[in-house]
Amino acid sequence: MKDEPIFDPGQWNLTSLQSELCTRARELAAANFAPRAAGYDKDARFPTENYVDLHNSGLLGVCIPTQHGGHGADLKTYMLMASEIGRYCGATALTFNMHVSSCLWTSTLADGIEMEPQVRATLESVRTEHYRRIIEDGAIYAQPFSEGGAAAAGKKAFGTTALRTDGGWIVNGKKIFASLSGHANYYGALCTELETPDTRPSRRNTMYLAIPATADGVSVTGDWDPLGMRGTISRTLIFENVFVPDSAQLMPRGLYYQTARTWPHMFMTLTPSYMGIAQAAYDFTVQYLRGEMPGTPPVKRRMYPTKQIAVAQMRIMLEQTKALWFQSITEARPNPGKDSMIRAWTAQYSVMENANEIAQLAIRTCGGQAMLRSLSLERLYRDSRCGALMLPWTAELCLDMIGKAALYEDGESDEQPA
């Protein structure tokens, strides 16, 4: 039997593009990604075959504008279709997010920003080549920003530097947890531009550069044997005196910083994988308790009141999470107000924490035979635990931001004047 959509197009009022892309993603992921997911997880292996499928089905360019050969999906459309992928393979959905971000930042989000005609012309010229590589060559982009310090939380300038030189930049630095490392064709790295080696680093000078994986000075180090999201291959990237030409900029100088400030909902793009996992853990439980789980004896367990109550709790949590998430991605827009931001952080927190809560309830409710590695539930549980750790909006930082925003108005402080 085919799975129902996570968001029914009629009930959730989806556009025809949203409905079409969600259907395509769900059918592809159910048929091809679900059977491969256990293997990627077991061996901590990158889902290369899934990326070939994504390219062949046209989904690799989902957020590339139509005039450049893509589907022109906006933030909400992307989030909805990616949640359908997360349902069948969390690691594919999470790495797909890193790839798609390189298109979202440079298209819908950047397009709405005020800029000089010359800056817009530069953006158009650099992104044309970037989109061509994806559509024609099936190129994959990573999104390494984490460095193990406060930069990934948006609190200080990136320690990876791009020193201006004739015709380009010399990049030096280290990125940790770089998903797709060793498998992406380009690393869409966030760096701080320096005019001279003595320039004081500033977040305003953040550069977003596409560093070819084959460039001299790029290396991948460290092993990757984590609890969950094992197929993401999030190893450490080293850039040592890597020269990249002017054409490597994914966004002209200053535009990334401006776009990140204007479009904070962009940081929610890490959630669809976990929205999908929450749905998958719930679906698993219903199928299992009904005695319909392929590969297990047809034993029904649904008649016990404790099971019914647990499923009700899971469904309540799933519905709350879906509704809040849907509202937040629907109201995402440039320069959102404070209420909208509090809701976005609340939605982020809820998806990341509830996915894990639903998965752990699923294990308790289905019982011992359901957590064997031959079934997907224990992987959903391990993968779901990783969501709360994703900077810049970790579950902890969301709590910090919600609490502060609720109690303080802009510029308010408890410091007494001296």
- CA 409 vs. chain centroid, Å, equals 30
Contact between 234 and ligand FAD by CB under 6 A: the answer reads yes
CA distance 376 to 88: 9
Asked if 44 touches ligand FAD (CB under 6 A), the answer is no
Phi, psi (rounded to 5 degrees) for 55 = -65, -50
Instruction: Give me the 358-387 binding string for ligand FAD, x by CB under 6 A, dash otherwise.
Output: ----------------------------x-
Structure tokens, 127: 């992104």
CB of 178 to ligand FAD, least distance (A): 5
Considering the rule CB under 6 A, would residue 402 count as an interface residue with ligand FAD? Answer: no
C-alpha 38 chain-centroid distance: 20
Cβ-contact 191, 207 below 8 angstroms:
yes
**Does 155 participate in binding ligand FAD (rule CB under 6 A)?**
yes
Task: Please tell me whether residue 405 binds ligand FAD under the rule CB under 6 A.
Answer: no
- Per CB under 6 A, the list member of 47, 144, 231, 276 interacting with ligand FAD is 144
| Alpha-carbon span 152 to 326, nearest angstrom | 26
Residue 145 is a binding residue for ligand FAD (CB under 6 A): yes
227 counts as binding ligand FAD under rule CB under 6 A: no
Residue 95's closest CA among 141, 134, 53, 41? 141
Examine residue 143 and tell whether it contacts ligand FAD (CB under 6 A).
yes
- Closest approach of ligand FAD to the CB of residue 184, in Å: 9
Strand partners, 206: 192
Minimal distance, residue 117 CB to ligand FAD, in Å? 33
Is 150 a binding residue for ligand FAD by CB under 6 A? The answer is: yes
Query: Does 389 help bind ligand FAD (rule: CB under 6 A)?
Result: yes
* Number of residues engaging ligand FAD in binding (CB under 6 A): 24
Q: What minimum distance in Å lies between the beta carbon of 90 and ligand FAD?
A: 9
Which of the 8 DSSP states describes residue 31?
I
- Between residue 156 and residue 185, which ones bind ligand FAD under the rule CB under 6 A? 177-179
Region from 55-63, 142-150, 194-202, 295-303 binding ligand FAD, contact rule CB under 6 A: 142-150
157 phi/psi in degrees, rounded to 5: -70, 150
Q: What angle do CA 153, 63, 329 make, to 5 degrees?
A: 55
Tokens standing for residue 117: 């005609």
Options 206-214, 228-236, 237-245, 374-382: segment touching ligand FAD (CB under 6 A): 228-236
State the nearest-atom distance from the C-beta of 155 to ligand FAD, in Å.
4
Output DSSP code: residue 368.
G
Would the CA dihedral through 103, 106, 109, 111 be positive or negative?
negative
Binding of ligand FAD by 396 (CB under 6 A): yes
What are the phi and psi torsion angles at 104 (to 5°)? -65, -45
Element of type H or E holding 125: helix 117-132
152 binding ligand FAD? (CB under 6 A): yes
C-beta of 68 vs 130, nearer to ligand FAD: 130
Query: 189 pairs with which residues across the strands?
Result: 209
- The answer to whether the beta carbons of residues 250 and 123 sit under 8 Å apart is no
Residue closer to ligand FAD (CB basis): 58 or 226 = 226
Q: Count the neighbouring beta carbons within 10 Å of the beta carbon of residue 282.
A: 22
Please report whether residue 260 would count as binding ligand FAD according to CB under 6 A: no
Tell me the closest approach of the beta carbon of residue 269 to ligand FAD, in angstroms: 11
Footprint on this chain of ligand FAD (rule: CB under 6 A)? 98, 143-146, 148, 150, 152-153, 155, 177-179, 229, 232, 234, 386, 389-391, 394, 396-397, 400
